[in-house]
Structure formats: C-alpha cells, structure tokens
Chains A and B, each alone.
Chain A
Amino acid sequence: MLKHLYDTDCVTWSPQGKLFQVEYAMEAVKQGSICLGLKSSENVVLCSLKRQPSELAGYQEKQFKIDDHMAIAIAGLTADARVLCKYMRTECLEYKYTYESHHPVGRLVFKVAEKSQHKTQSGAKRPYGVGLLVAGIDPNGVHLFETCPSGNYYEYKCQAIGSRSQAARTYFESWFHLFEKSTLEQLVLHGLSAIKKAIMEDEELNEKNVEVGILGKNLKFTHLNAQELKDYIAKLEGFNPNSQIQQE
C-alpha cells in the first residue's frame, strides 16, 4: 500500500470517505501468516500455518481456546490478539458464572467488534492490528466469524485470512458446497489442502508448522497432537474431493 494524505490518525477522513489508519491496520492482518476455518453442520475446523522467526526459535501459536465451545485463530499482531483473547475468555467465564451456560458466539463476536470500533474513533488510540477467525458452537448452531480491525464482523461458511489467503479462498470456492455434509476427517483434509495451496514452493507442511483445532457439537475444542497431524498430512496425498461427490 502506498502512503496517502489524511492518514495521520483515526479522526481524519480522506476526501474519498476512507479512514486510512483503519485500512493500514487491515494491512497488518494481511501480513500475518495464513489461518483458515471451515464448518459443516456438526463441526468447525481451524487450520493455521505457524511462523518460526528463526531456526533457533519456536513456532508462534495461532489458535487459542476461549471456552469449551469456542476458539479463535489469529492473523496479525500477536500481542493485540492476546489482549482480545483475554477479553473473550473473561467474558465467557463471567457469562458462565452468571447464567450457567455457554456464551452465545455471535454475541461475543459483537462485543469484540464493538471494542475494536471504539479504537477507530479516537485521536489517542490505534485500531487492533489483528483479525480473528472465531469458531464456536451454541444452541443457534455451528458458527465461523471473522473480525476486522475496523470493527466489522462477518459470518462465513469458510474463510481464510493472512498472507496468500486468496489461494486458499479459491480452493474453498471450488469445494465449499461439500462442507455442509462433510465428516470431521474430510473437513480437516479440506482445511489442510487449502493451506497447502497457500504455502511457498520451497516450504512443506509438517506437524511442526501447521496447527489444527477441531470443535464439534459434542466435542470440546482440542488441538490435534503431533501424531494425529502426521497421519492427516500423510492422508493428504490420497485425498480427492471428487470422491466425496460420488458418495453423495
């Protein structure tokens, strides 16, 4: 993105009706490594590619459990994500304490969006530089939401954010009509296939740099462990979405 006039702070509009600071914040999300989510009628799966700052370092975690029924995957500034994660966890705990039930997903996403919007309308603040994919299950059904630094939020059947996410979205556009009736295993394989489209040629998917989280109507949020990841990645070779169509 090129430099613009009228971009010094959030309280200045551009003549074209844009808030450039907010747009720049969304750029931070696009620079983060890819994470994606997809849902069926029973399950939601989050897949992300973990970045390693150097060979000596560990891999940056991208998925966080909010409550048994909800989890997020992040793209952008991890520090900002931590703040939002803590906020969401606290809200869920308080809701559970008061109402003895799980926080409705859409309501919590709305609270996060409201918090994010607040940061876009003040001279002394900056927007959060992180986009979240919120996966959750509540009595209203299975949900996947995306939140933006702008304070907007959208519900999706499947979505990818972060760098080279367009490749994953293109994969989704071809195959998302199968997701509704997919089994959990098929969903994970679709997710990993989509991630595979988005990695660089010299990179490879392995159990260290990919993170998969699963959530189901009767399944609390869990990360797949290293062995399970290895097995799924091995299954990717023989995975053919076309065979899923023939089953139906």
Chain B
Amino acid sequence: MYIPVNEVQKHFKSETPMMSNITHKSDQWSPYHDNSGTVLAIGIPGAVLVAGDTRLSNGYNILTRDATKLSQLTDKCVLATAGQYADFIALRKFLQQRLQLYEFQNEVQASTQTVAHLLSRELYSRRFFPYYTFNLLAGLDENNHGVVYGYDAIGSYDQMTYGVQGSGQELVVAVLDNQLKGYNKINKTFPQTQQEILDLILDCFSCAAERDIHTGDNVEILIITPTGTERIVKPLRKD
C-alpha cells in the first residue's frame, strides 16, 4: 500500500512543526512597505534638535538618497517619521490641514502638546489599518524648553528628553543613553552646549550608517529655537 504524497505528514513520528513542514506564502501582497531610515530628536532647554537621514529604501534597493523625513508643522514643532514614506506623506498632509484649521478657529498656532495629542488620536483612528509610521514629535513647550514625544504605530505616546525611531534605532539609542543619561558610563560628562549635541547627533548617524544598511546618504538636522528654525545637511556614507 502506498502513502499518498499529501498524507506523508501524518506518518511522521511527531506532528510538531519542523522547518521542512513550514510552508511560506511568500508571494502574498502587502499594503505596507518599510522605507526605513533613522530619525532622532533631542530636547534641551531653549531648543530642540531633530535629525533624520535622507535615504529611502525598499528591501535591498535604494529608492532615493534625497528624501526628507522631517516636516515642520508649526513654528515650534517638527514631525520626524521613519517607516512607510507614503503613510508619512498622508499623515503630514492631514496634520498640516488640520493645524491650519486650528489656526483659523483659534487665531493662534497649536502648542506642541496639542499637536502631540492630535497626532496620537489620528494614529489611533486607524487602529485597524494602521499608518506604518514610527513618529517622533519634537518641539518647544510653553516655556520654550525642548520636548520630544515618541509614538508607536497606533498612537501610544509619551514625553521624553530624547528619542530615536527607525531601522537604526537600537544602534543609536544605546549611544544616546550612554552620552545623555550616563547609563553604563564610568566618567559621567555630558554635552553642555548646543554645538556638542550637534556633534553627538552627527556621530550617532555616522555610527548608524556604518552598521545599518538602510541608513546613510545624508543627515538633515533641524534646530528649533524660539527665534526660528535652522537647517543643516551633512553627508553620510553612501554604501
């Protein structure tokens, strides 16, 4: 008596899944694409620094070396997003429109705290088909101190002094924990000036570009202060 091919499985000793038993549906279409990259934000008294690399990728391919992941929503706050670029664009458009309406109705720009909550609600409104975006909202609060809010894809958020999102997150956040909080640091010295923080950010991105294939090309940094916004672009590894 023969064993039909499709019943071979039943005649194995154990029914537990083994590598050979597992079939992958590898050609299933997905609405999500990870365009990767890394963003970070650091808040200090009197300013907030937001940075993102400018590389967009899809798998092992580079789509462009020249795309911004940062979007200034009001005079005082900036959205930095890693994840799916199309969802970043859609989210940014929604926020820009909604914030202009806020400005018409309230005759004043929304505060950073207000924008943070608005972003959270918008992300949760898509709880069952989420925006594939990993956001940082960085801005100046009512006292002109730099604040950073970090989000997951469905809108859970919290205030932090610094945050990192994206493919280089694990690489960079460990460096910031060490340099800004003094974790696992023997000689605890911290950056004092804005220039030192800027150098730290550039170093972080250089490190991430070394090890993470999805991070590189250029790093774009926005410095938000009560007097205005400054933009700096520096090159990173292109491989």
A interface residues with partner B (beta carbon < 8 Å): 65, 89, 93, 96-97
Instruction: Say yes or no for B174: interface residue by CB 8 A criterion.
Output: no
B104 engages A97 (CB within 8 Å): no
A93 engages B101 (CB within 8 Å): yes
Closest to A98 in B: B93
- Bound Cα distance A65, B100 (Å): 11
Given pairs A89-B101, A89-B104, A96-B97, 6 additional interface contacts (CB within 8 A) = A65-B104, A93-B97, A93-B100, A93-B101, A97-B93, A97-B97
Q: Could you pull out 9 A-B pairs where Cβ atoms are within 8 angstroms?
A: A65-B104, A89-B101, A89-B104, A93-B97, A93-B100, A93-B101, A96-B97, A97-B93, A97-B97
Q: Which residues does chain B contribute within 8 Å of A96, judged by CB atoms?
A: 97
Closest to B103 in A: A65
Q: How large is the interface on B (under 10, 10 to 19, 20 to 34, 35 or more residues)?
A: under 10
- Bound Cα distance A93, B93 (Å): 11
A-B residue pairs, 9 tightest by C-beta:
A97-B97, A93-B97, A89-B104, A97-B93, A93-B100, A93-B101, A96-B97, A89-B101, A65-B104
Nearest-neighbour CB distance to chain B for A223, whole angstroms, equals: 12
Contact with A along B94-109 (1 / 0, CB 8 A): 0001001100100000
Interface SS of chain A: helix
- Bound Cα distance A89, B97 (Å): 11
Closest to A96 in B: B97
Q: Which residues does chain B contribute within 8 Å of A97, judged by CB atoms?
A: 93, 97
- Bound Cα distance A97, B95 (Å): 10
Q: Which residues does chain A contribute within 8 Å of B104, judged by CB atoms?
A: 65, 89
Q: Which residues does chain A contribute within 8 Å of B97, judged by CB atoms?
A: 93, 96-97
Contact with A along B38-60 (1 / 0, CB 8 A): 00000000000000000000000
Closest to B101 in A: A93
Q: Which residues does chain A contribute within 8 Å of B101, judged by CB atoms?
A: 89, 93
Nearest-neighbour CB distance to chain B for A97, whole angstroms, equals: 5
Nearest-neighbour CB distance to chain B for A74, whole angstroms, equals: 16
Closest to A93 in B: B97
Nearest-neighbour CB distance to chain A for B163, whole angstroms, equals: 29
Contact with A along B74-98 (1 / 0, CB 8 A): 0000000000000000000100010
Closest to A67 in B: B100
Nearest-neighbour CB distance to chain B for A87, whole angstroms, equals: 12
Nearest-neighbour CB distance to chain A for B20, whole angstroms, equals: 52
Closest to A100 in B: B93
Nearest-neighbour CB distance to chain B for A51, whole angstroms, equals: 20
- Bound Cα distance A89, B101 (Å): 8
- Bound Cα distance A93, B103 (Å): 12
- Bound Cα distance A217, B126 (Å): 39
- Bound Cα distance A65, B104 (Å): 8
Q: Which residues does chain A contribute within 8 Å of B100, judged by CB atoms?
A: 93
- Bound Cα distance A168, B48 (Å): 51
- Bound Cα distance A97, B89 (Å): 11
- Bound Cα distance A190, B133 (Å): 53
Nearest-neighbour CB distance to chain A for B109, whole angstroms, equals: 13
Residues of B178-231 whose CB lies within 8 A of A: none
- Bound Cα distance A93, B100 (Å): 8
